[in-house]
Amino acid sequence: MEYLSLPLVLREGYFRRTSLSDSLTNSIGLILSTRIGHMTFRPDYGCAIWDREFADLLTTNKAEVRASLRIAIDKYEKRIYNMSISFANVGGPESHPLGLAVKVTGNYLEDDEEKKFEETFIVG
């Protein structure tokens, strides 16, 4: 099966195609980077992390935030299952100002074979 690559760019009459794994990464990244209410055609799309103050993310109940993110991904990305959400520190000299990243792990089926999905997203 073919999947569309993001961003959607029409070249030579065709959209670029991508793998299932990359499609999952694009889809989850879009969910995590969208504030609820910002997609006019689907006002409930996105995640609630954008309703929080980023300074509070370091001190808030992380289980509550993980649950919120998991609910959003479960709702809009049905191809991934047995999913877990964790937070990781972003290190190095060019680290993100928040120093926080969302790590999503789970499983998906491709050609009747179970595969592992693992990707880290910097949010903010």
Question: What gap in Å lies between CA 20 and CA 26, rounded to an integer?
Answer: 10
Of 59 and 48, more confident: 48
- Phi/psi of residue 19, nearest 5 degrees: -80, 165
Name the residue with tokens 């070249």.
11
For residue 99, pLDDT over 70 is answered with no
Higher pLDDT, 106 or 7: 106
Residue 93, pLDDT > 60, answer no
Strand partners, 11: 14
pLDDT in tens, 11-49: 777 777 889 999 999 999 999 989 898 888 899 999 887
The residues with which 121 forms a beta bridge, in sequence order, are 102
pLDDT confidence bin for 3, thresholds 50/70/90: confident
Q: What is the pLDDT of residue 5?
A: 79
Residue 81 sits at the vertex; the CA angle it makes with 96 and 36, to the nearest 5 degrees, is: 50
What pTM was computed for the model? 0.81
* pLDDT for 66 beyond 70: yes
Chain mean pLDDT for the chain = 83
Residue ranges with strand state E in the chain = 3-4, 10-11, 14-15, 17-18, 81-89, 100-110, 113-122
Q: What is the CATH number of domain 3-122?
A: 3.10.450.40
